[in-house]
Amino acid sequence: MIKLSINIDKAATLRQSRGGTEPDPVAASIVAIQAGADGITAHLRHDRRHIQDRDVELIRKVVTLEFNFEMSASQEMIDIALKIKPDQCTLVPERIGEITTENGLDVIAEKANLPKVIKTLKDAGIRVSIFSRLDDDQIKSAKDVGADRIELYTEPYGHAFGTKNEDYEFGRLVKSAELAEKLGLGLNAGHDLDFRNLRRMKSIHNLMEVSIGHSIFSRAIFIGLDNAVKELLAILK
């Protein structure tokens, strides 16, 4: 059964737009869990433009299910991860000025540094996933540096859904999933997945977890967060 992790970054983005305390992403996490979500994802960025240190510390305290901490492979974020002890750290790239994560991590370019980072996290009992580009050499490199899982970058599929390119982009995901399975890597997926395109993802038999954020909070404006979570769970389960 594919697990659903709710990325609560967008709740924090809305809060930060006014500089107040609402909506509280920690409260959003509790609502999502009560609605049946299997876990919570949050990305603490260097510029702190949405999620704050306070958020990840409180989420770790109040969420008894899985907490997936998205982070760059910097010493600052490693120290925070070791302090809060999430269940999983997902290593992602960050570019100054980007609106959202633009691609998977270039593992090949960071191959000298990543083994030490990953070992440090794993020695602390934290599972490590890498937000992965969809090419064979990157996925093989994720295995080489010691990752437990990869998270497939699904934005190209999400954008192609319902167009003539959908089958091609979905085929890329399937091919990457098959390689991950062959290498013994666990498999997550995320970015631009929603209640329309999620159903097809179920055919990837080794997919363990999907992380969904922007689309679920967009949907929640119209039907409520509780119902938006349940809608996705109905598709997955």
pLDDT confidence bin for 236, thresholds 50/70/90? very high
Given a cut of 90, whether residue 10 has pLDDT beyond it is yes
77-127 pLDDT, tens digit per residue, is 999 999 999 999 999 998 776 667 767 899 999 999 999 999 999 999 999
Catalytic-residue membership of 191? yes
Given a cut of 80, whether residue 12 has pLDDT beyond it is yes
Catalytic-residue membership of 205? no
How far apart (Å, rounded) are the C-alpha atoms in residues 125 and 121? 7
Which position among 155, 169, 191, 209 bears the catalytic label? 191
Please give the pLDDT value at position 98.
Answer: 63
pLDDT confidence bin for 226, thresholds 50/70/90? very high
Q: What is the DSSP string of 116-133?
A: HHHHHHHHTT-EEEEEE-
For the segment 201-227, the average pLDDT, to the nearest whole number, is 97
CATH number of the domain located at residue range(s) 3-236 in this protein:
3.20.20.70
Please give the pLDDT value at position 1.
Answer: 87
For the segment 64-89, the average pLDDT, to the nearest whole number, is 97
Please give the pLDDT value at position 11.
Answer: 97
Given a cut of 70, whether residue 17 has pLDDT beyond it is yes
Please give the pLDDT value at position 102.
Answer: 61
Which position among 50, 70, 151, 169 bears the catalytic label? 70
Range with lowest mean pLDDT among 9-13, 99-103, 156-160: 99-103
Percent of the chain topping pLDDT 70: 97
Which position among 43, 94, 151, 209 bears the catalytic label? 43
How far apart (Å, rounded) are the C-alpha atoms in residues 205 and 131? 19
Tell me the average pLDDT of the chain.
Answer: 95
Question: In the 8-state DSSP scheme, what is residue 162?
Answer: T
Please give the pLDDT value at position 104.
Answer: 83
Domain ranges for the chain = 3-236
The pTM for the full model equals: 0.95
For 58-140, strand residue ranges (E) read 66-71, 88-91, 127-132
Query: How many CB atoms neighbour CB 237 within 10 A?
Result: 12
For 24-125, strand residue ranges (E) read 39-43, 66-71, 88-91
Using an 8 Å Cβ cutoff, are 179 and 206 in contact?
Answer: no
For the segment 131-151, the average pLDDT, to the nearest whole number, is 97
Catalytic-residue membership of 214? no
27-58 pLDDT, tens digit per residue, is 999 999 999 999 999 999 999 999 999 999 99
